Amino acid sequence: MLPLVLFDIDGTLLRTRGAGREALDKAFLALHGWPDATEGVHVAGSTDDAICRDVAARFGASWGPASTGALRAAYLLELTRLLVPAERTEVLPGVSRLLDALDGRAHIAILTGNWRSGAEVKLAAAGLGGRFEWGVYSEDAWERDGLVPAARAVAIARELTVGEVIVIGDTVADVRCARAGAARVVAVETGFCSPEELANARPDLQVKTLEDGMGWIVALVAGG
């Protein structure tokens, strides 16, 4: 039985210098004519489906699965285009070494509020596409707090015997979703929350970067 380590994407594994939000804004503008659609909408730590719902509410529009499907397709085209310049995507320090260090000691998967297709584009742009066999995405849980239970269900479906679950993420929402799913949580300060905000959420471990906290993270995963 191995622990399951669930990695958030944005602000944890990589940064895209705002490409995700920019692509969403362009898609909303192109399809609905809404300017700066995500302005004032809580994006970091949310899910793409919840963001659509919140944006539609902001513009007083109704929103359903067909709207989501069209928006997602337009978003994916924009995101792919925006992430063509290699320098737009930054892999955060220690990612590759931590994944190597966890190899054979834990099951590894993605936990993100991104739609699956968008997550795959970002991971590929970062050269991390081959590092994760599976994940849970916006499609798997309407709210982020449902993602850890979704990951447990996928693990069972994949016939993995999972011990403790550990979420690694950069936002207070990651800490909350770990708690909602009875998982432990590592907060990393490379993303969208200040060190103080993260500390107030009381993660099991808080690190400046994955590189900086590698020894601690490996020890926590090993149950040490």
> Where on the chain is the footprint of Mg ion (CB under 5 A)?
8, 10-11, 170, 191
Nearest-10 Cα torsion for 150, 155, 159, 163: -120
Comparing CB distances to Mg ion, the nearer of 27 and 193 is: 193
Comparing CB distances to Mg ion, the nearer of 46 and 68 is: 46
CA distance 142 to 157: 20
Considering the complex, what minimum distance in angstroms separates the CB of residue 173 from Mg ion?
8
Considering the complex, what minimum distance in angstroms separates the CB of residue 185 from Mg ion?
12
Comparing CB distances to Mg ion, the nearer of 10 and 25 is: 10
Comparing CB distances to Mg ion, the nearer of 135 and 191 is: 191
Comparing CB distances to Mg ion, the nearer of 30 and 204 is: 204
Q: Which residue lies nearest Mg ion, judged by its C-beta?
A: 11
Do the strands 107-111 and 90-91 form a parallel or antiparallel pair, or are they unpaired?
A: unpaired
Considering the complex, what minimum distance in angstroms separates the CB of residue 182 from Mg ion?
20
Considering the complex, what minimum distance in angstroms separates the CB of residue 166 from Mg ion?
15
Considering the complex, what minimum distance in angstroms separates the CB of residue 164 from Mg ion?
21
